[in-house]
Structure 1
Amino acid sequence: MKTVTIGDVAAQAEVSKSTVSQYLNERYDYMGEKTKQRIQDAVEKLGYQPNIVARSLKQKSTKTIGVIVANILHNFTTEVTRAIEDVCHESDFHTIICNADDDPFKEKHYIEMLRAKQVDGLIIFPTGDNRDLYQKMLDGSYPVVFMDRELEGVEIPSVLLHNSKAVALAIEHFVEQGYRRIGMMTTSLKHHTTPRIERVEGYKNTLKNNEIPIHDEYIISVDSQSLQTELEELLHLEKPPEAMLAGNDLVLIETLKYVKHKGLRIPDDLAVIGIDDVSFASFYTPSITTVAQPTFKMGKAGAELLLNKIQMKKEIRNSSLRFEPTLMVRDSV
């Protein structure tokens, strides 16, 4: 099947190739409506598709960014990437989304693959274990932004939550409701992931500020498949927690599964607060108190930050943007 060229469109519309090029690039300033219509009719009749690769080489831009997420199953990730895509769409940029599964090897593969495809920049939820690769991009002035995480010593701008404040809101609410034995569960800390580390530290600091003893056995940080087993052991201690903070949405889901399986009552048997305002929190019975992240604002900020770096619109400071959490009080405490 013969490839339709810009010359074929020009001949069909009875105009020059430069006029067709101006039309395809939406430069209509000196183009009459009849000329535009003839070109449009020719494009449709011939089934012409612009050569994106050739255009990218000419413009030195693919108008595409890559987004490498840590775990696409998180509610936070879904909402942030949706906001990123919205901003890019408005700016006529495309997005390619890759899921690294918190695996440094997959992350490295995706970084190399996306750069080979000549994407104009990257938004990365970093695993933290590819420092040399991050630094190489930074040294080469390649546009990159971190989301949800930051790395000490790597001067790449980051967009993330005030994680310590998020935990403080939850623990303070537990304390106000009379709870003193408060546990916390989060997924594994083995990759030193920023939000998990900061939330555990925030938990300890808030307990100290309220003169509540810290019990190490009340703090669980394991892979998601082990959460229910660990919760079983925790709640069968001689003095188990009366309240539980779920460090993210996946932990909250595993906690609620355990509660249902064991026939426990929330909040009578166990009070619960989750970080991330998941969609089911408001209509679960009882409704679940959560700490909400401004996910769409964070995604929008990350996308705008990257596009500004790509388009060199203004000087970008390599510092973090921190967003404020909000406590959504419901019936689980």
Structure 2
Amino acid sequence: MSKKQEPGAAVRATIRDVASAAKTGKTSVSRYLNGEKDLLSDALKERIGRAIALLDYQPSQMARSLKSGQTRLIGLIIADITNPYSVEVMRGVEAACRQEGLTLLVCNTNNELDQEKHYLQLLSSYRVDGIVVNAVGMREAAISTLQQANLPMVLIDRKVANFACDVIGLNNVEATQMMTDHLLQQGFEALLFISEPATINTRLERLRTFLQRMQQSPQHIAEQCEIEISNTEALENMLREFIARHSDKRKAVMCVNGTLTLQVARAMRRLGIVWGQDIGLSGFDELAWAELAGVGITTLKQPTYEMGVAALSQLVARIQGNTDPVKDLEFSGELIARGSTAAR
């Protein structure tokens, strides 16, 4: 005895229903759905197409993935969804997924290591075909989880120590040298590099390159400070002290990323410091408001959208069986000079 249908409940059509309506077998319908239409006559293809439209048949993606061994799902783990960098990367990955007929699952860790591990486990349980990760800085336990899942993976922007994986990112050495040289050429004599805690390779590479480049100009002053982005009092004190120490020199600040550039700009506004007049201001990542803030803020623009597209392209190659050695694909940045670093 069949189970009674609840009043008002929608009845989902099955492949058997489609076969019956098209007056054919389930095998022919399966061939139609799986792109093997060349094996069917034109009349049969037309009948199956009409039956699918009439019944509003929706194939079960779960059933198809179990049969094919692929879910057509891609996971994207990003460190901070509020960061404009992350948004542009996500746009690039999502656009590339649509082009490939893939569905993207986005997970935001909010820069929390425990959340990163949780999402790695969750995406593995969903049997995604691969993962793109903008890593917080995976612990050994999280890496172990990923290795056990044996999923293709591409890292974007940030590397993970002792973990062999394809990485897509900015050429940080080239970009930092470009920004530092620009400030020196504009006549600044004392430079301050401000970074969030240098716990990831991107920040370390930029800081290290800045210090190495400044060693080649001993007549200039180079300082660096690591600060928690939420500590507004410490940030304001650091700016006051830097200005006081070098009151007789042209001073400029370089920020390690766009989020920090915003906080530094806010701190300067609270302190009545005018960039482009009292001090120079520059930072990595192009921000939508940078050209509108005062005389404009000099930035190092990253091709983040293109990085997202490249990350998905590399991931698809791995999913399809590419076994070439892991590689780092580095993109060049573009210096957008504005009034905040104008020469006098």
TM-score (norm 1): 0.91
1:125/1:146 contact within 8 Å kept: yes
Q: Distance in 2 between matches of 1:135 and 1:158?
A: 18
Q: Is the 8 A contact 1:65 1:120 kept in 2?
A: yes
Q: Distance in 2 between matches of 1:271 and 1:203?
A: 16
- C-alpha distance 165-229 of structure 1, shift in aligned 2 (>3 A): farther
State whether structure 2 residue 84 is matched by structure 1 residue 75: yes
Contact kept in structure 2, 1:69 and 1:98, CA below 8 Å:
yes
Per mean C-alpha deviation after superposition, the further-off stretch among 49-58 and 262-271 is 262-271
- CA deviations 1:295-325 (Å, max 9, x no partner) are 122112211111111111x323223222212
Equivalent residue in structure 2 for 1:233, among 232, 237, 254? 237
On the 8 A contact 2:195/2:203 being kept in 1, the answer is yes
Report the 3-state secondary structure (helix = DSSP H, G, I; strand = E; otherwise coil) of the residue aligned with 1:179: coil
Tell whether the 8 Å contact from 2:116 to 2:142 is kept in structure 1 after alignment: no
In the other structure, the counterpart of 2:56 is 47
Shift of 1:255: 1.8
Counterpart residue type for residue 227 of structure 2:
V
Offset, 1:141 = 4.3
Local SS of the residue matching 1:235: helix
Q: Which residue of 2 aligns with 1:222?
A: 227
Q: Does 2:184 match 1:175?
A: yes
Match of 1:317 among 317, 325, 342: 325
Q: Give, as a single letter, the amino acid of the residue that structure 1 aligns with 2:323.
A: E
Matched, 1:204 2:204: no
Q: Is the counterpart of residue 285 in structure 1 residue 307 in structure 2? A: no
Q: Is the 8 A contact 2:120 2:145 kept in 1?
A: no
Q: CA deviation at 1:140?
A: 6.3
| Aligned residue number for residue 168 of structure 2 | 159
Instruction: Kindly provide the CA deviation profile for residues 212-263 of structure 1, in whole angstroms up to 9, marking residues without a partner as x.
Output: 5655xx423222211x323321232232572111111111111222233333
Shift of 1:32: 4.8
Q: Could you tell me which residue of structure 1 aligns to residue 201 of structure 2? A: 194
Matched residues in 2 for 1:34 and 1:77: separation?
49
Question: What secondary structure sits across from 1:29 in the alignment?
Answer: helix
Of 256, 278, 282, the match for 1:273: 282
Residue 93 of structure 2, aligned match among 68, 81, 84: 84
Q: Which runs of 5+ in 1 are unaligned?
A: none
State the identity %.
Answer: 27
2:336 maps to 1:328: yes
Aligned-partner Cα distance in 2 for 1:322–1:168: 15
- C-alpha contact (below 8 Å) 1:292/1:326 kept by paired residues: yes
CA contact (8 A) 1:67 1:97 kept: yes
Structure 2 Cα separation of the partners of residues 142 and 288 of structure 1: 41
Alignment of 1:232-251 (within 5 A): 232-237=236-241, 238-240=244-246, 242-251=251-260
Q: Provide the secondary structure at the position in 1 that maps to 2:314.
A: helix
Is 1:20–2:25 an aligned residue pair? no
Q: Residue 84 of structure 1: SS of its match in structure 2?
A: helix
Residues 138 and 156 in structure 1, CA contact (< 8 A), matched pair in contact too: no
The alpha-carbon deviation at position 132 of structure 1 amounts to 4.2
Q: CA deviation at 1:173?
A: 0.8
Which residue number in structure 1 is paired with residue 264 of structure 2? 255
Shift of 1:102: 1.8
Contact 1:204 1:214 in 2 (8 A): no
- Structure 1 window deviating more from structure 2 (109-118 vs 153-162): it is 153-162
Aligned 1:47-126 pairs, distance under 5 A: 47-126=56-135
How far, CA to CA, are the matches of 2:40 and 2:297 in structure 1? 59
Residue identity in the other structure for 1:235: L
Unaligned stretches of 5+ residues in structure 2:
1-8
Are the structure 2 counterparts of residues 45 and 236 from structure 1 closer, same or farther at C-alpha, using a change threshold of 3 Å?
same
